[in-house]
Structures are given as C-alpha cells and as structure tokens.
C-alpha cells in the first residue's frame, strides 16, 4: 500500500515539473527567450512564475518608509521575470509582484498610455563597444541610462565623462555586483556601502552627484532590499524587455536580435540591453530608426511618471 502511494506521489511531482518546463519556466543565470509564451527571467521560483498575471498598468505609489518596521519585512530572495507579449502590449507581471514593487518606488514600465520607451544598458565591464554605442545614440539624438559598477567607473573614466557630457544617465549597479537580497538579509551597512562606494567613485570622476536610479544585479531582490533601496533615496529600475545578449561568446544573430526586439516593443517599455554585446552594437542604429518610424519616442528615466 505504501509503495503504491509513493509511486503515485512521484508521478504527480514529475508531471508538475514537466508542465512547468513547457510553460517556459527558465532557470539560467540571465534572461532567456526561447518561445513566444515564455516567462523571461533571471533564476526564479516556479511558484511566483506560475501565478496568474494581471494586465494592469504599473502605477507607482510610494509609502511612508519611516513608519515601517524593517524587521517584519520579507527577506526571501526573488528573481525578476516578466511575461513578454508579441502584440505590442506591455509585458505582464503577477499582481502580487506589482503590489510589492509599487510600494517601494520600483519600475518595470514607464508611461504605457503613450508611445514612449526608455533605453538602458548594463555595464559590468567594458568589451570595446560602448564608444560606438555612444556614437549611435548621439547621431540619433537618443538619451539612455547606463547602469555601472565601481570597477567600471574606475577603469573607464573617459567613457563615464562622455556619457554625462552627452546627456545620458550613469546609474547605480552596485560596487561588487552581489545579490542585494542576500546582502540586505545579512548586513544593512554592507548593503548601504554597495551604493555609497560607487556614488563616491562617480562623484570623483564627474564632480556630480550620481542619479538616484538603481538596477539590482542579476535581477535579484527582496522586499527588504527594495525597502533599503528606497530608504537611500533610489528608484529601483527593473525592465519589461531583455533577451539573451550578455555572453560575448554566445551572441545571437543580428536578424534574431532585431526581430525579437521589434516584436516585443511596446508603450512604456524599459528596455535592458547589455553593452558587451556585439550584436546589440551592430543593430542599434537600425533598431532606433525603426522604433522612431513606428512613432516611438525614446525618453530619459527622468521622465518616468
């Protein structure tokens, strides 16, 4: 009898896992996109990924952080994901995730009532393409946000100065690129230091204060990390578009890159591209021109609603 019960349980577990895989629950170190109905994510709990999504626009409502007891906030690590659409409508999030990020000045969409988009680049290290990317942005009169680490600032001072001089935002991506959910759970002072060391490096190079926009490394976050981030005066910037562009040794074809970017473009999109990508660099000019031909305006994160 017990053997029969165990066999049935194993069958149920195996069936559930198979369904999760077919639904596009992707476990990788960075976002992946392999089918039109996939969830696109950094590593994520299948439980969060399988919840029903709600098509409501993101409307950001800050809370009074002074009234919160941080000891009561959830410390469990989450992984950012989104459900992409191919019909020109915004990528989706489960309502519980929307409720959470709306509490703490976090965005994954901008103004979805207008044909506007927000172009962002993650810069963990320099791969020789940023100068050309800046040339393309300048030629097309397009602003962007570059999320950088402290080592990037210290080893690419001329590029940082050029970004600022040409009207782009240079934003916080931490000093050491850790999971900020893990850091928040262990030590609030180390969490703060991940921000402050980079702020100082940026100020030393530019003579300016760093813009208060933050992108969590690897898309990892928790309620506590969102709270600490807001307490430091930052807005957390997730994204509603990303694709597998981060590995210089496994670059997508230019045709594929252009196709997936255009078919998943939508009002209010916060677009994440990696500046280490040769493919992104080669297709960027054409993609920007196609966005503009379709009526999209590329805006700075400073224009977020």
Residue 223 CA to residue 74 CA, distance in Å, equals 5
Active site (annotated) includes residue 69? no
DSSP letter, residue 109: B
Query: What torsion do the CA atoms of 90, 92, 97, 103 make, to the nearest 10 degrees?
Result: 10
State the catalytic residue, choosing from 122, 168, 177, 266.
Answer: 122
User: Which residue out of 69, 274, 285, 302 is catalytically annotated?
Assistant: 274
Q: How many CA atoms lie within 13 A of 119 on its CB side?
A: 23
Active site residue 274: yes
Angle, vertex CA 172, rays to CA 166 and CA 174, nearest 5: 140
CB 147 within 8 A of CB 277: no
Q: What's CA 204's distance to the chain center, in Å?
A: 27
Beta bridge partners of 298: 117
Q: Is 241 helix (H, G, I), strand (E, B) or coil?
A: strand
Annotated catalytic sites, by residue?
122, 274
């Amino acid at each position: 009898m017990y053997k029969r019960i165990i066999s049935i349980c194993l069958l149920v577990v195996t069936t559930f896992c198979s369904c999760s895989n077919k639904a596009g629950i992707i476990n990788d170190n960075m976002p992946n996109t392999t089918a039109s109905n996939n969830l696109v994510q950094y590593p994520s709990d299948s439980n969060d990924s399988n919840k029903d999504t709600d098509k409501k626009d993101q409307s950001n409502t800050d809370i009074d952080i002074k009234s919160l007891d941080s000891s009561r906030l959830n410390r469990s690590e989450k992984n950012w994901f989104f459900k992409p659409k191919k019909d020109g409508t915004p990528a989706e999030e489960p309502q519980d995730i929307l409720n959470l990020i709306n509490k703490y000045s976090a965005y994954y969409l901008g103004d979805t009532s207008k044909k506007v988009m927000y172009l962002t680049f993650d810069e963990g290290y320099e791969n020789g393409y940023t100068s050309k990317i800046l040339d393309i942005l300048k030629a097309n009169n397009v602003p962007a946000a570059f999320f950088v680490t402290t080592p990037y600032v210290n080893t690419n001072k001329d590029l940082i100065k050029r970004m600022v001089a040409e009207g782009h935002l240079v934003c916080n991506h931490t000093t050491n690129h850790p999971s900020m959910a893990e850091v928040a759970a262990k030590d609030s002072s180390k969490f703060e230091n991940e921000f402050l060391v980079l702020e100082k490096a940026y100020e030393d190079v530019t003579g300016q204060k760093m813009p208060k926009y933050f992108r969590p490394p690897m898309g990892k976050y928790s309620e506590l990390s969102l709270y600490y981030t807001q307490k430091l005066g930052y807005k957390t910037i997730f994204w509603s578009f990303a694709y597998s562009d981060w590995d210089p040794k496994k670059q997508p074809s230019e045709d594929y890159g252009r196709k997936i970017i255009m078919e998943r473009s939508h009002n209010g999109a916060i677009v994440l591209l990696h500046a280490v990508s040769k493919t992104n660099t080669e297709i960027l000019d054409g993609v920007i021109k196609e966005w503009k031909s379709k009526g999209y305006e590329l805006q700075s994160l400073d224009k977020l609603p």
